[in-house]
């Protein structure tokens, strides 16, 4: 049995360019229904030093950082010091892993907005390190949803209508990397609470609103029990291994979603590798009936509108699931991490 916990990833506080301290973040997360949050202030761990990781308002607050040169931003966790943003990407990413930490390429295919010039995409994906990828980023999508003042106004008052699936190019790169090694993925909110654009109305800029957009749901083998160090290890381990799935809360909340590979009495879950053998079966269970797309090696493999899927005898490949909700206006809802079926 696995336990499901919903978290908000990629949050900025007053210690960089956000507008609240950790206590304010935790309060908003509690009101939004999140179980945990991951902080990523720019080039600092000040929140860790001044307030510390802890449970607040029943929410587990964990602190990482975001290395932020002009481009090639990197979300990192489980580190003691933040590498310099003046290093080359392979150097600061390497330093994170030398410290025993791990991380994710942040908003890797973010496009430039003509109203707010500047690109923060990743230029080099050929890093010889086990990095993960932030495949979905709410703030990046919001910034890319308009090119004119008229479009900006529309994006302010109708933000729910503008949240799209992860960028196709990001998904394709991620799928291709998965053919070589496991590559965990997260959904980031990139929440700032309005400090960067304090002229925006609450519908866009409040932490509470932002925390109701994209979630990263992790699966743990034991329940969280309020023990800071033990629970911290379980959440970070699940994030690091890709034992998680991503949810657009605009399309609907999710209490439970399962996607696993079974052979006799053994199961492999998201983020795990299995050696191919005859008789394997993929099983998918949704919270409710929706449109399910099974992606294999970056291409559509199977699709149906249902709540339960049973796919027998899959061949070797890199598999993941996309779920869309709604008939006339399909909304992206759930994106799984990969399950890797390797050739024997």
Confidence label for 118 from pLDDT (cuts 50, 70 and 90): low
Maximum alpha-carbon separation in the chain: 59
- Cross-strand bridge partners of residue 28: none
Confidence label for 124 from pLDDT (cuts 50, 70 and 90): confident
- Cross-strand bridge partners of residue 342: 275
Same domain, 176 and 31: yes
Same domain, 242 and 170: yes
pLDDT of 271 over the 80 cut:
yes
Give the pLDDT of residue 17. 86
Same domain, 192 and 289: no
Three-state DSSP at 307 gives strand
Give the pLDDT of residue 206. 84
pLDDT of 260 over the 60 cut:
yes
39 domain residue, yes or no: yes
Return all residues near 322 (Cβ < 8 A) that are at least 6 apart: 165, 292, 293, 295, 332, 334, 335, 336
Structure token pair of residue 166: 């992860």
In 3D, which of 52, 95, 57 has the Cα closest to residue 76? Answer: 95
Same domain, 133 and 265: no
DSSP assignment letter at 35: S
Per-residue model confidence as pLDDT tens digits over 295-331:
999 999 999 999 999 999 999 999 999 999 988 888 9
Structure token pair of residue 313: 């005898």
Confidence label for 19 from pLDDT (cuts 50, 70 and 90): confident
163/141 Cα distance (integer angstroms):
7
Per-residue model confidence as pLDDT tens digits over 40-67:
999 999 999 999 999 999 999 999 999 9
Same domain, 79 and 217: yes
Give the pLDDT of residue 276. 97
Domain-ending residue, one of 226, 248, 270: 248
Per-residue model confidence as pLDDT tens digits over 285-304:
999 999 999 999 999 999 99
- Give the CATH number, domain containing residue 310: 2.60.40
**C-beta atoms surrounding 265 within 10 Å:** 5
Same domain, 35 and 171: yes
Same domain, 149 and 197: yes
284/302 Cα distance (integer angstroms):
12
143/196 Cα distance (integer angstroms):
12
Structure token pair of residue 161: 């209508």
Same domain, 163 and 214: yes
Same domain, 81 and 136: yes
Domain-ending residue, one of 248, 273, 293: 248
| Tally of domains in the chain | 2
129/158 Cα distance (integer angstroms):
39
Least confident of 70-74, 75-79, 182-186, 201-205: 201-205
332/84 Cα distance (integer angstroms):
36
331 domain residue, yes or no: no
Give the pLDDT of residue 149. 57
CA–centroid distance for 316 within its chain: 26
Return all residues near 284 (Cβ < 8 A) that are at least 6 apart: 258, 259, 292, 294, 308, 309, 310, 311, 321
Per-residue model confidence as pLDDT tens digits over 155-185:
566 665 668 899 999 999 999 999 999 999 9
pLDDT of 110 over the 80 cut:
no
CA–centroid distance for 89 within its chain: 21
Return all residues near 225 (Cβ < 8 A) that are at least 6 apart: 231
DSSP assignment letter at 161: G
pLDDT of 112 over the 80 cut:
no
Domain-ending residue, one of 248, 271, 303: 248
Compute the mean pLDDT over every residue in the chain, rounded to the nearest whole number. Answer: 91
312/309 Cα distance (integer angstroms):
10
* Higher-pLDDT residue of 30, 121: 30
pLDDT of 140 over the 90 cut:
no
272/268 Cα distance (integer angstroms):
6
In 3D, which of 206, 176, 179 has the Cα closest to residue 191? Answer: 206
190 domain residue, yes or no: yes
For residues 286 and 323, is the Cβ–Cβ distance under 8 A?
yes
- Give the CATH number, domain containing residue 166: 3.20.20.140
Residue-number span of the structural domain to which 286 is assigned: 258-326+337-342
Structure token pair of residue 343: 């050739």
Per-residue model confidence as pLDDT tens digits over 94-106:
999 999 999 999 9
344/334 Cα distance (integer angstroms):
30
How large a percentage of the chain has pLDDT more than 70?
A: 88
Per-residue model confidence as pLDDT tens digits over 194-231:
654 555 545 556 899 889 999 999 999 999 999 999 99
Confidence label for 237 from pLDDT (cuts 50, 70 and 90): very high
Same domain, 230 and 283: no
Structure token pair of residue 1: 């049995």
119 domain residue, yes or no: yes
Give the pLDDT of residue 316. 98
């Amino acid at each position: 049995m696995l336990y499901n916990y919903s978290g908000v990833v990629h949050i900025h506080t007053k210690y960089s360019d956000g507008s609240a301290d950790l206590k304010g973040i935790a309060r908003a997360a509690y009101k939004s229904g999140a179980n945990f949050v991951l902080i990523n202030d720019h080039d600092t761990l000040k929140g860790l030093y001044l307030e510390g990781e802890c449970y607040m308002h029943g929410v587990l607050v964990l602190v990482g950082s975001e290395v932020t040169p002009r481009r090639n931003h990197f979300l990192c966790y489980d580190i003691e010091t933040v590498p310099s943003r003046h290093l080359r990407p392979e150097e600061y990413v390497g330093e994170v892993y030398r410290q025993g930490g791990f991380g994710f390429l942040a908003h890797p295919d973010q496009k430039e907005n003509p109203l707010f010039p500047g690109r923060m995409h990743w230029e080099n994906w050929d890093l010889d390190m086990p990095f993960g990828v932030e495949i979905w980023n709410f703030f990046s999508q919001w910034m890319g949803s308009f090119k004119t003042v008229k479009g900006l106004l529309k994006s302010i008052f109708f933000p729910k209508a503008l949240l799209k699936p992860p960028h196709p190019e990001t998904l394709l790169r991620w799928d291709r990397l998965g053919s070589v090694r496991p590559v965990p993925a997260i959904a980031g909110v990139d929440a700032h609470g309005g400090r960067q654009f304090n002229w925006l109305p609450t519908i866009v800029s409040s932490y509470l609103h932002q925390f109701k957009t994209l979630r990263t749901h992790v699966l743990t083998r034991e329940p969280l029990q309020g023990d800071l160090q033990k629970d911290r290890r379980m959440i970070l381990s699940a994030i690091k291994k890709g034992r998680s799935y991503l949810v657009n809360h605009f399309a609907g909340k999710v209490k439970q979603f399962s996607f696993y590979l079974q052979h006799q009495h053994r199961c492999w879950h998201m983020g795990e590798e299995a050696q191919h053998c005859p008789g394997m079966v993929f099983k998918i269970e949704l919270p409710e009936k929706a449109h399910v797309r099974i992606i294999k090696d970056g291409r559509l493999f199977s699709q149906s509108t249902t709540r339960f899927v049973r796919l027998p005898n899959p061949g070797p490949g890199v598999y993941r699931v996309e779920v869309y909700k709604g008939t006339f206006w399909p909304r992206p809802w759930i994106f799984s991490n990969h399950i890797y079926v390797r050739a024997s």
